[in-house]
Chains A and B, each alone.
Chain A
Amino acid sequence: MTLNDICQWIDQTAMSQWIKEAAWVVPTVQTVHILAIAVVASSALMLDLRLIGVFWANRPMEAVKARFLPLIWWPLLLLLATGIIMITAEPARSLKNPAFQLKMLLLIGALIVTGLFQLLHRRDASLGDGPRAAAVTLAIVSIALWSSIIFAGRWIAYFA
């Protein structure tokens, strides 16, 4: 089964047909997708700025982590659900789109970096408080990845 077959199969499902006919669905779902991204990206930024040491530097890392880390992971479910609806509406426009494919790669990268932060912080609770090099690198890579994900998401429309 090729990617073309998958796209064709999704295209003719009742769900896809229904979304295509209801003009309000895609703009509404995209709005929810952007709002969820706002939560994820801003939460990641808060953690990253704490890691760099420019933000909330005198608050314990543990408190900043408890506040923002769940807001990186949980909204991903909403992003996945709204993302699937958009793919269902126009499978070829997304699945075969280089901007979409790049976005998925960048997403995997961002998730690995977030997981790595959790792992490193669990192993060494002083991460972000002691010598900065590792923490700063992690934070800058995270900021770069989440920003690129937002850019790639917007560019899907221009590669279609």
Chain B
Amino acid sequence: MVSVEIDRFLEWLQSTPLALAIAENDILFPWIESVHVLAIVLVVGTISIVDLRLLGVASLDISAKRLMRDIIPYTWGAFAVAAITGSLMFSSDATHYGHNRLFQIKLVMLVLAGINMAAFHLFGERDIERWDAPGATTPVAAKAAATISLLAWIAIVSLGRGTGFTMH
């Protein structure tokens, strides 16, 4: 049974020394959580700058390609920090997080945001030279990717905050 295997993994995870240290220490969790919030704030803020450019709302005086090249490294850096701190918090109470419905939906939304981004880089960005000239409008596919991205990240923040309220 897959779910038995997952439960066994979650139990093992929360019994690892690092997970126990986070669970038992009073200030470790709040510190990790604060870094997580700071990181997610920067992920959402920087990705929105790109999304709003693709939607034709802002930063129109700069090429989308150039904007993405400048900003997305910061987004990835912040995302890496959010993923590491998120994993640490998850490990400290893995069985509860793993069975929390809002947390499960959050993971699905993260995968969705990832697929959306990969699809944009693979297909939507291919003819970027054609629509990236000043005054040109972005094609519907790129606008759709930007909209999905914005909505997915808003949902991820909501579900993350919701997880905190439904854990105990």
A residues near B (Cβ < 8 Å) are 26-28, 30-31, 34-35, 37-39, 41-43, 45-46, 55-56, 59, 63, 67, 147, 150-151, 153-155, 157-158
In angstroms, how far is the closest chain B Cβ from the Cβ of A82? 12
Inter-chain contact B34/A38, CB cutoff 8 Å: no
B residues near A (Cβ < 8 Å) are 27, 30, 33-34, 37-38, 40-42, 44-46, 48-49, 58-59, 61-62, 70, 74, 154, 157-158, 161-162, 164-165
A19 to B70, CA, bound (A): 43
Inter-chain contact B161/A45, CB cutoff 8 Å: no
Interface centre among A28, A30, A55 (most CB of B within 10 A): A30
Known A150-B34, A150-B38, A150-B41: A31·B48 in contact at CB below 8 Å: no
Residue of A nearest to B67 (CB): A56
Cβ of B40: which chain A residues have Cβ within 8 Å of it? 34, 38
Query: Which of B45, B61, B70, B157 meets A55, CB within 8 Å?
Result: B70
Inter-chain contact B38/A155, CB cutoff 8 Å: no
Inter-chain contact A31/B161, CB cutoff 8 Å: yes
The SS class assigned to the A binding surface is: helix
Inter-chain contact B48/A42, CB cutoff 8 Å: yes
A-B contact count (CB 8 A): 70
In angstroms, how far is the closest chain B Cβ from the Cβ of A98? 14
Query: Which of A42, A67, A150, A158 meets B59, CB within 8 Å?
Result: A67
Residue of A nearest to B102 (CB): A27
Cβ of B45: which chain A residues have Cβ within 8 Å of it? 38-39, 41-43, 45
Inter-chain contact A42/B34, CB cutoff 8 Å: no
Some 26 contacts from A to B, beta carbons below 8 A apart, are A27-B158, A27-B162, A31-B157, A31-B161, A31-B162, A34-B40, A38-B40, A38-B48, A39-B45, A41-B41, A41-B45, A42-B44, A42-B46, A43-B45, A45-B74, A55-B70, A59-B62, A67-B59, A150-B41, A151-B38, A153-B37, A154-B30, A154-B33, A154-B34, A155-B30, A155-B34
In angstroms, how far is the closest chain B Cβ from the Cβ of A9? 27
In angstroms, how far is the closest chain B Cβ from the Cβ of A55? 7
Closest 9 CB pairs of A and B: A42-B45, A38-B44, A38-B45, A38-B41, A151-B34, A154-B34, A31-B158, A27-B165, A158-B30
Cβ of B154: which chain A residues have Cβ within 8 Å of it? 35
Cβ of A157: which chain B residues have Cβ within 8 Å of it? 30
Inter-chain contact B37/A154, CB cutoff 8 Å: yes
Residue of A nearest to B31 (CB): A151
Give 5 new A-B contacts, CB below 8 A, not counting A30-B161, A147-B38, A153-B37. Answer: A26-B165, A39-B48, A42-B45, A43-B45, A55-B70
Interface centre among A30, A38, A46, A153 (most CB of B within 10 A): A38
Cβ of B44: which chain A residues have Cβ within 8 Å of it? 35, 38, 42
Residue of B nearest to A68 (CB): B49
Inter-chain contact A34/B41, CB cutoff 8 Å: yes
A147 to B45, CA, bound (A): 14
